[in-house]
Chains A and B, each alone.
Chain A
Amino acid sequence: MAFPLEFGLNTFGDLNHDANDRPESQAQTIRNVVEQGVHADAVGVDFFGIGEHHTDYFPMPAGDVALAAIAARTQRIHVGSSVIVLSSDDPVRVFQRYSTLNAISNGRVEVILGRGSSIESFPLFGYDLADYDELFEEKTALFAELLKGSPVTWQGETRAPLRDQNVVPHLESGPFPTWIGVGGNPQSVVRAARLGFSLALAIIGGPPSRFAPFSKLFLAALEKFGRAPLPVAMHAPGHVAPTDAQARAEFWPRWKDTIALISEERGFAIPTEESFDWEIGPRGALCVGSPESVAQKIATNLRVLGANRFDLKYGMPGLTHEQLMRNIELYGTQVIPRVRELLA
């Protein structure tokens, strides 16, 4: 494998419940995320990412602030966005925030740009979703320019032009790793290659094997654009507990409730228990189960996709902080070593 094998965790700041199934406050949930990030470092996880969301059940619009707290208490783990919704943000400000985080963390920042399923930021910040493609295209291109260092000269439609602009803080040792999160659109894969960003495949439903052609497309597109190979990551939701039965019992009711909320917002019929069981089974996308089951699934998928990095989106609104800490513990101490062994 051309790039080292790496393992990350992602959260959306999923609102925690307490042991009596009462909601914790949003503030306590954010403090818990900081503890979870510190714990991830302690158990050997390579990357801790926070995905931008703006809802009561994902109260995490400013993940970089929480990441700064994690960075201040850790030495090794990489920290970053998973994802940040660049289209509804100012690329200059995003660069400044993560460049500041990169300074605090001594160069441990990675940024994943994308949309995720987070759309609440568009009306919140006055953007029109119908302009999504134009916004993303232009802003990712500007972000690529900012990563090259100052002075920056740029002109476009979506923000004021920059002419020989000094943008601080400067990067100490070159650009931090930047990825583009891609769902099922092959044109987004080609765009990532064209802009020279790594590819993060977000696989939240259906068989991960259907993404295998995307890795090949990414490498072929990099070659076409005269670029060297870049890493490929996959991201999938899940939950690790001591046994398959316990993981399922903890996760399913929270998954069902959350998907029901999102379904209501977007007009999906609510998924059936049958479809959930298929998704947590060997061919589905969700990594829910014992350390051994989850490790087998991750190893299989990394191999099929030719990916060198796996990020587990852990948690779901309603799970407790203790359940998430145990998930992180099992992921770091059992799942990761077992995947390494399976792929050795």
Chain B
Amino acid sequence: MASTSSRLGILGAGHVGPVIARLALRAGWSVAIANSGDPADLELITQLVVPGAEPRWAADAARDADVVVLAIPLHRFLTMDTGPLAGKLVVDAMNYWPSSDGVLDVFDHDAAGSSEVVAQGLHDSTVVKTLNHIGYHELEELSRPAGSPDRRAVGVAADDERAADTVATLVDDLGFDVVRLGNLRSGQLLQPGGPVFGVAVRRAEFEARIEAWSAGSLVRSGSGDGA
């Protein structure tokens, strides 16, 4: 259960934000949620879809949060005011997905992962990549208490160890086993086109997929049994 860090600020009230918000509320976090506009426009949505969350202006939600989650379409990140994120621990739950963002030149090269590009844009923040690779439509259905045999794994990639610890606590609270990846660059393994994007699997298979991919031997076969 959340102890040291317990205030979550979620930027984005679309597909992903409300789902993470509900799971966090269930685990005892206090949750503020914001989109790019007036929180008054989010009142009905929070009341009926995310009861218990507080609609706020994005800057306020970020300022008062221990952990800020970016759950907006990536192309919106390029134009958002990142000032309020300075000094913050920021979870990047976004994906570079040309089929929904269009082609974005800044993300469209192989060397860096999308979260590294995000981190460059947030040089006063500490960026952790996670919660981007399981479909939002499955997150709640698959959430399980720690120790459940069918608990699914979620990857956490960061350069900062303490930030990764904090976010690991969050992910565990949300109902998932944490698999730590070495650094933010390894977050590329969690991206679209990677070995675990879009399939929710248990820890052992998650680790096996990562290992096989890193060894260059994973063929996209679809034969995994998820067990």
Q: Contact: B104 with A186, CB < 8 Å?
A: no
Alpha-carbon distance between A175 and B136 when the two chains are bound, in angstroms:
36
Is B191 close to A, CB under 8 A? yes
Q: Of A9-17, A28-36, A214-222, A333-341, which binds chain B?
A: A214-222
Chain A: CB-nearest residue to B45? A186
Evaluate whether A267 and B225 lie within 8 angstroms (CB atoms) in the complex, with A185-B15, A213-B49, A272-B199 already known. Answer: no
- Residues 214-227 of B, flagged 1 when their CB comes within 8 A of A and 0 if not, give 00000011111111
Is B97 close to A, CB under 8 A? yes
Chain B: CB-nearest residue to A223? B44
Is A19 close to B, CB under 8 A? no
Q: Contact: B138 with A206, CB < 8 Å?
A: yes
Determine the chain B residues whose CB is within 8 A of the CB of A274 once the complex forms. Answer: 225-227
- Residues 258-281 of A, flagged 1 when their CB comes within 8 A of B and 0 if not, give 001001111111111111000000
Contact partner, A267, options B136, B193, B227, Cβ 8 Å: B193
Determine the chain B residues whose CB is within 8 A of the CB of A185 once the complex forms. Answer: 14-15
Q: Contact: B196 with A206, CB < 8 Å?
A: no
Is B99 close to A, CB under 8 A? yes
Q: Contact: A268 with B45, CB < 8 Å?
A: no
Determine the chain A residues whose CB is within 8 A of the CB of B13 once the complex forms. Answer: 186-187
Contact partner, B222, options A128, A186, A207, A272, Cβ 8 Å: A272
Residue among A210, A266, A269 having the largest count of chain B Cβ atoms under 10 Å: A269
Is B140 close to A, CB under 8 A? yes
Q: Contact: A267 with B192, CB < 8 Å?
A: yes
Q: How far is the CB of A38 from chain B (nearest CB, A)?
A: 35
Q: Contact: B222 with A184, CB < 8 Å?
A: no
Chain B 167-226 interface residues, beta-carbon cutoff 8 Å to A: 191-200, 220-226
Is B137 close to A, CB under 8 A? yes
Q: Contact: A130 with B44, CB < 8 Å?
A: no
Evaluate whether A267 and B48 lie within 8 angstroms (CB atoms) in the complex, with A206-B141, A274-B227 already known. Answer: no
Is B87 close to A, CB under 8 A? no
Alpha-carbon distance between A263 and B222 when the two chains are bound, in angstroms:
10
Determine the chain B residues whose CB is within 8 A of the CB of A272 once the complex forms. Answer: 199, 222-226
Q: Contact: B191 with A205, CB < 8 Å?
A: no
Determine the chain A residues whose CB is within 8 A of the CB of B14 once the complex forms. Answer: 184-187
Q: Contact: A217 with B45, CB < 8 Å?
A: yes
Contact partner, A269, options B44, B195, B227, Cβ 8 Å: B195
- Residues 81-121 of B, flagged 1 when their CB comes within 8 A of A and 0 if not, give 00000000000000001111110100000000000000000
Q: How far is the CB of A61 from chain B (nearest CB, A)?
A: 18
Is B28 close to A, CB under 8 A? no
Is A190 close to B, CB under 8 A? yes
Determine the chain A residues whose CB is within 8 A of the CB of B98 once the complex forms. Answer: 129
Determine the chain A residues whose CB is within 8 A of the CB of B48 once the complex forms. Answer: 213, 216-217, 220
Alpha-carbon distance between A294 and B1 when the two chains are bound, in angstroms:
40
Is A224 close to B, CB under 8 A? yes
Determine the chain A residues whose CB is within 8 A of the CB of B224 once the complex forms. Answer: 272
Determine the chain B residues whose CB is within 8 A of the CB of A270 once the complex forms. Answer: 199, 220-222
Q: How far is the CB of A54 from chain B (nearest CB, A)?
A: 13
Is A282 close to B, CB under 8 A? no
Chain B: CB-nearest residue to A214? B49
Q: How far is the CB of A58 from chain B (nearest CB, A)?
A: 15
Determine the chain A residues whose CB is within 8 A of the CB of B155 once the complex forms. Answer: none
Q: Contact: B44 with A206, CB < 8 Å?
A: no
Alpha-carbon distance between A216 and B45 when the two chains are bound, in angstroms:
10
Q: How far is the CB of B13 from chain A (nearest CB, A)?
A: 6
Chain A 206-255 interface residues, beta-carbon cutoff 8 Å to B: 206-207, 210, 213-214, 216-217, 220-221, 224
Determine the chain B residues whose CB is within 8 A of the CB of A187 once the complex forms. Answer: 13-14, 35, 45
Is A143 close to B, CB under 8 A? no
Alpha-carbon distance between A46 and B141 when the two chains are bound, in angstroms:
33
Determine the chain B residues whose CB is within 8 A of the CB of A128 once the complex forms. Answer: 102
Is B75 close to A, CB under 8 A? yes
Is A342 close to B, CB under 8 A? no
Q: Contact: A205 with B225, CB < 8 Å?
A: no
Alpha-carbon distance between A214 and B49 when the two chains are bound, in angstroms:
7
- Residues 118-150 of A, flagged 1 when their CB comes within 8 A of B and 0 if not, give 010010000011111000000000000000000
Evaluate whether A269 and B137 lie within 8 angstroms (CB atoms) in the complex, with A213-B48, A220-B48 already known. Answer: no
**Other CB < 8 Å A-B pairs besides A128-B102, A275-B199, 18 of them?**
A130-B75, A186-B13, A190-B41, A190-B44, A206-B135, A207-B141, A210-B137, A210-B140, A224-B44, A267-B191, A267-B197, A269-B195, A269-B198, A269-B222, A272-B222, A272-B225, A272-B226, A274-B227
Enumerate 22 A-B pairs (CB-CB under 8 Å) in ascending A order: A119-B99, A131-B102, A184-B14, A184-B15, A186-B45, A187-B35, A190-B45, A205-B135, A213-B48, A216-B48, A220-B47, A260-B222, A263-B220, A264-B220, A267-B191, A267-B192, A269-B194, A270-B220, A272-B226, A274-B227, A275-B200, A275-B226
The 3 A-B pairs of least Cβ separation, nearest first, read A267-B192, A270-B222, A268-B198
**B-side interface residues toward A, CB under 8 Å?**
13-15, 18-19, 35, 41, 44-45, 47-49, 75, 97-102, 104, 135-138, 140-141, 191-200, 220-227
**A-side interface residues toward B, CB under 8 Å?**
119, 122, 128-132, 183-187, 190, 205-207, 210, 213-214, 216-217, 220-221, 224, 256, 260, 263-275, 283
